[in-house]
Amino acid sequence: MKSPVTVALVGNPNAGATSLFNALTGAQSAVANYQRVTTSLSTREISHRGVSLRIVDVPGIFSTSSQSPEEKIGCDYLHGEEPDVIVNVLDAGHLDRSLFLTTQLIETGLPRITVLNMIDEVRRAGIRIDTAMLASALGSPVVETCALKKEGIEALLDAVVGVVSAPPVTPLRLHYDSHLEAAIDRVQQHMAELHPQELSPVRSRWLATKLLEGDDEILRHESNHVELVDEIRGEQSTLAHEHDEDAATLLASARFAFSNGLLREVRQQTEDPTAGFKLTRILDDVFLNRSLGLPLLLGILWVMFEATFSLGAIPTDWIKAGVQLATDLVDKTLPEGMFHDLVINGVMAGVGGTIVFLPNIVILFFFMAVLSGTGYLARASFLMDRVMHHFGLHGTTLIPMVAGFGCNVPAVMATSVITNKRARLIAMLISPFMSCSARLPVFILFAGAFFSNIAGTVVFAMYMASIGTAMLSAVLLNRIIPGSGSDAFVMELPPYRLPTMHSVLHHMWDSAQGFVAKVTGVILVGSVVIWFLQEFPRNIVYSQDFETAITEMESRADSPAKDEALRSLKATQAQEKLEKSYLGRSAIAVTPLFEPLGFSWRESASIMTGFVAKEVVVATYAVIYAQEKQSDGLTAALRGAMPPATAVAFMIFTLLYAPCLSTIAIIAREARSWRWAGFSVAYSLTFAWILALAVSKIGQHLL
φ, ψ of residue 46 in degrees (nearest 5): -135, 175
Nearest approach, Cβ of 30 to Mg ion (angstroms)? 8
- The interface partner of residue 316, options being Mg ion, ligand GDP, none and the CB cut-off 5 to 8 Å by kind, is none
Distance of CA 563 to the CA centre of its chain: 55
By CB under 6 A, name the one of 1, 2, 3, 32 that touches ligand GDP.
Answer: 32
**DSSP assignment letter at 267:** B
User: What's the CA angle centered on 522, arms 518 and 523, to 5 degrees?
Assistant: 80
The answer to whether 120 contacts ligand GDP (rule: CB under 6 A) is yes
Out of 7, 8, 10, 19, the only residue in the binding site for ligand GDP (CB under 6 A) is: 19
Residue 350 binds which one of ligand GDP, Mg ion, none, with CB within 5 to 8 A depending on kind? Answer: none
The answer to the question of residue 152 lying near ligand GDP (CB under 6 A) is: no
Residue with smaller CB distance to ligand GDP, 18 or 627: 18
105 binds ligand GDP (CB under 6 A): no
Q: Is 118 in the site for ligand GDP (CB under 6 A)?
A: yes
Burial class of 34 by CB neighbour count within 10 A (0 to 12, 13 to 18, 19+): exposed
Note the helical H segments in 226-357.
226-243, 247-266, 278-287, 293-333, 338-341, 349-355
User: Shortest gap between Cβ of 210 and ligand GDP (angstroms)?
Assistant: 23
Query: Least distance (Å) from Mg ion to the CB of residue 39?
Result: 9
Q: Would you count residue 38 as binding Mg ion (CB under 5 A)?
A: yes
Q: Which of 5, 6, 7, 16 binds ligand GDP (CB under 6 A)?
A: 16
Q: Is-contact 420 408, C-beta < 8 A?
A: no
Comparing C-alpha atoms, which of 317, 597, 310, 653 is closest to residue 451?
310
- According to the binding rule CB under 6 A, does residue 121 interact with ligand GDP? yes
Distance from C-alpha of 69 to C-alpha of 359, rounded to nearest angstrom:
56
Strand 42-48 relative to strand 51-57, pairing = antiparallel
Nearer to ligand GDP, 90 or 587 (CB): 90
Q: Is 193 exposed, middle or buried (0-12, 13-18, 19+ CB in 10 A)?
A: exposed
Query: Residue 484 interacts with ligand GDP (CB under 6 A)?
Result: no
**Interatomic CA distance for residues 90 and 404, integer angstroms:** 37
Q: Is 27 in the site for ligand GDP (CB under 6 A)?
A: no
- Which residue spans within 342-425 are E strands per DSSP? none
| 17 vs 444, beta carbon nearer ligand GDP | 17
Should residue 475 be labelled a site residue for ligand GDP when binding is judged by CB under 6 A?
A: no
Which residues have a Cβ under 8 Å from the Cβ of 186 and sit 6 or more positions away?
231, 235
For residue 14, state whether it binds Mg ion (rule: CB under 5 A): no
Q: Which of 6, 38, 573, 684 binds ligand GDP (CB under 6 A)?
A: 38
For the residues of 541-553, what is the DSSP string, one character each?
Answer: --SS-HHHHHHHH
Q: What is the C-alpha radius of gyration for the chain, rounded to an integer number of angstroms?
A: 32
By CB under 6 A, residue 453 contacts ligand GDP: no
Residue among 6, 12, 18, 345 that touches Mg ion (CB under 5 A): 18
Considering the complex, what minimum distance in angstroms separates the CB of residue 146 from ligand GDP? 4
CA gap 538, 24 in Å, rounded: 91
To Mg ion, the closest distance from the beta carbon of 36 in angstroms equals 9
Question: C-beta of 44: minimal distance to ligand GDP in Å?
Answer: 14
Kindly indicate which of the ranges 9-17, 258-266, 326-334, 408-416 contains the residues binding Mg ion, using the contact rule CB under 5 A: 9-17
Residue type at 452 in one-letter notation: S
Question: What is the size of the binding site for Mg ion (CB under 5 A)?
Answer: 3
What's the rounded Cα separation, in Å, for the pair 218 and 505? 37
How many residues touch ligand GDP under the rule CB under 6 A: the total is 21
703 in Cβ contact with 648 (< 8 Å): yes
Q: What share of the chain is helix, strand, coil (3-state, %, to 5)?
A: 70, 5, 25
Q: Does 95 bind ligand GDP (CB under 6 A)?
A: no
When CB distances are held under 5 to 8 angstroms depending on the partner's kind, the choice from Mg ion, ligand GDP, none that residue 118 binds is: ligand GDP
Under the criterion CB under 6 A, does residue 170 sit at the interface with ligand GDP? no
Out of 10, 60, 418, 657, the residue judged to bind ligand GDP by CB under 6 A:
60
**244 — alpha (psi -120 to 50), left (phi > 0) or beta?**
left
19 is a contact residue toward Mg ion (CB under 5 A): no
If one asks whether residue 478 binds Mg ion (CB under 5 A), the answer comes out as no
Binding flag, residue 103, Mg ion (CB under 5 A): no
420 binds Mg ion (CB under 5 A): no
Nearer residue to Mg ion within complex by CB, 87 or 490: 87
C-beta separation of 115 from 90 below 8 A: yes
Chain-centre distance for alpha carbon 575: 43
Binding site for ligand GDP (CB under 6 A): 11, 13-19, 31-33, 37-38, 60, 117-118, 120-121, 146-148
> Rule CB under 5 A: which residues touch Mg ion?
17-18, 38
